[in-house]
Amino acid sequence: MCSELDSIIRRQRLKPLFQPIVDMGSGQQLGVEALIRGPLDSPLHSPGALFKAALRDGQLYELDLACRAAAIAAFAQQQHHPDLLLFINVTPAGLKAEQSQRGATAQVLAEHGLVPRQVVIELSEQYAIEDPELLKAAVAHYRQLGFLVALDDLGAGYSSLKLWSQLRPDIVKIDRYFISGIHTDPTRKAFVRSLVELGRATGARIIAEGIENREEWQQLTRMGLQYGQGFLFARPAAEVPPEAAIALPELGPRSIQPQLQRLSARQLCQPLPPLTADTSAATAWGLMQTRRLHAMAVVDEQQRPLGLLTRTRLMEIFASDYGRALHARRAVGALLASSVVIAELQTPLDELGRQVSAEPEDASHWYLILTEQGRYAGLVAVRDLLRQLAEAQLQSARYANPLTELPGNVPLHQEISARLEAGRPLTVLYVDIDHFKPFNDHYGYARGDLVIRQLAEILVAEASPEGLVVTHVGGDDFVLVGDREAEAEAVADRILSAFELSLPHYLDEAERQRGGFTGHSRNGEPCFHPLPGLSIGLVSADPARCSSHLDVAELAAEAKRMAKRQGGGLFCSRRRGPQPQWSSEAPALELVG
């Protein structure tokens, strides 16, 4: 086996495959990860077998370097958009060994016409790290050369958050263990949600690995993850995808996000003309004066932004003694602001706001530079960004529930009214948590909020693929709107089952065994409270008999009351419209389950 490994390395028989890493909102490719395979006819075909043999035979660094060389060569030979990043896996042992052969990776890149800023060094956490200080030095060396650094397989290995703190990676990839089935596992959700917040606090981009189905993708995007990788988007292949974006799978008609257009930096972009680095300060000042500009971007020959020149900076150098005479011919490339926020056009405004808030106060941060696939597109005034964010927050407060981010009462009324006016079929599910107030009082509002969020995610997961609109109308009350009664009934059954399965995660074991807990009644008397459950009222409204959303709300509320009266579960009403005030006809109701 040792001679087999020697042969593979010496004869360069390693085959790289590439798997895209995508923006899960737009499909835009951030980069591709190079995944290495041995020869098909070899017992060392799988990467696990390859690296196990190398570790046993003391050839880990030799294999590591051969893998890097194969990946770089294959990547350089293919056509792809110029801003695509190449993610290369490197073992800690390989990084440490490179201390004695500095520049080996950069040399391979140069031979193939690539530069370090196009490459991300992925440091796997699955290998033991015996000398953290030497590893930190190796990472610092890569950074000085211009490489980005990623921490791979977070949560699967030896040191997790400690390694994150020591290395301060640019990118963190969450191990697939925490992604698989995340839409049904509260523990995985809590873990990933905390990593998203930590990434925002440290400025690291977070990538979810191993996304295999639409439910995992929807859950992750709802939790704020921007980037993902997995079979759902693309399987590893020998060819690098040449297009800038990957076609995303179809989402269900409605998702957990409010029915509002997601705002991006593109909407605020001002396509102001840029300067080149050799433009003189006098020329730049004249342009700013003539066009009444406060800042201009400076770009290179490929229209990539180099930095920002502000009116304030020019005024400073011209205001000194003999300032204009000394600096008028000076190239603006030497006068750029020390730092500036640069973002892509599709960056969500909330993410852009976080980038701005992380920067120190400085006049240069009154403007941001926007790019499209790395090339200059325009500027954004920070005041415009803040104004738009404030307006979006006000609109979100009116239209969406802040706890679940689901559409609220106003979108629900609009949806029902639109269906009634169009004469479309209208089936409504009114979902309410039974015994929720005692649960909230006993366990605390924090756990109560977790249960409400869990129910919201169950509703979206079960209802969206069937085309039902999911809304959160307040507290523990949710309303779903769809077309067909039979479809809605099947969805309700799945919701009841999923909620019952998820509830034990939020209960103490002893109380779960007892089927409830001891609390107090509204009069303050000790009493036993059963565990929470769901009551779901179902009604199909007749557009010819309902004049407004108020009529439909009355029908749905009555069906929910009947569900509670029967002790929970699903209750279907036969009523199709409001009962005329002059009629003595009793409501016709049908009990289901």
3-state SS track over 377-443 = EEEEEHHHHHHHHHHHHHHHHHHECCCCCCECHHHHHHHHHHHHHHCCCEEEEEEEEECHHHHHHHH
CATH of segment(s) 265-388: 3.10.580.10
- Maximum Cα interatomic distance, the chain, rounded to a whole number of Å: 96
d(CA 557, CA 589): 13
Listed by start position, the domains of the chain span: 18-34+84-228, 265-388, 401-591
pLDDT the model gives residue 587: 46
Domain 401-591: homologous superfamily in CATH: Reverse transcriptase/Diguanylate cyclase domain (3.30.70.270)
pLDDT the model gives residue 361: 59
Token pair belonging to 319: 């205001």
d(CA 418, CA 411): 10
Q: Record the pTM.
A: 0.52
Query: How many distinct helices (H) and strands (E) make up the chain?
Result: 20, 22
* Pairing state between β 426-434 and 205-208: unpaired
Q: Over its length of 593 residues, how does the chain's per-residue pLDDT go in tens digits?
A: 567 778 888 888 899 999 999 988 778 899 999 999 988 878 888 888 888 888 787 788 788 889 999 999 999 999 887 789 999 988 766 665 554 456 778 889 999 999 898 999 988 755 555 667 777 777 888 888 889 999 887 765 555 677 788 888 899 999 999 999 888 787 888 888 888 888 877 888 999 999 998 888 878 877 778 899 999 999 999 999 888 778 887 554 344 344 334 577 888 999 999 999 999 999 999 999 888 888 999 999 889 999 999 888 898 888 877 778 888 889 999 888 767 888 888 888 877 887 777 665 554 568 899 998 889 999 998 888 888 888 777 666 667 788 887 888 888 998 899 889 888 889 999 999 999 999 999 989 888 998 998 899 899 888 877 789 999 998 999 999 998 898 999 999 999 999 998 888 888 888 888 999 888 877 878 899 999 999 999 999 999 999 899 999 999 999 999 999 999 999 999 998 887 654 444 444 443 43
pLDDT the model gives residue 98: 53
As to burial, measured by CB atoms within 10 angstroms (0-12 exposed, 13-18 middle, 19+ buried), residue 396 is: middle
Say if residues 537 and 571 touch (Cβ distance below 8 Å).
Answer: yes
Enter the DSSP assignment of 173: E
The pair phi, psi for residue 223, each rounded to 5°, is: -85, 0
- H or E element in which residue 537 lies: strand 533-541
CATH of segment(s) 18-34+84-228: 3.20.20.450
Say if residues 440 and 194 touch (Cβ distance below 8 Å).
Answer: no
Place of tokens 């074991």: 509
Dihedral over Cα of 159, 207, 175, 75: its sign? negative
- Examine domains 18-34+84-228 and 401-591 and report if their fold is the same: no
Reported in sequence order, the residue ranges of 263-354 that DSSP labels E, i.e. its strands, are 275-276, 295-299, 305-310, 342-344
* Pairing state between β 367-372 and 342-344: parallel
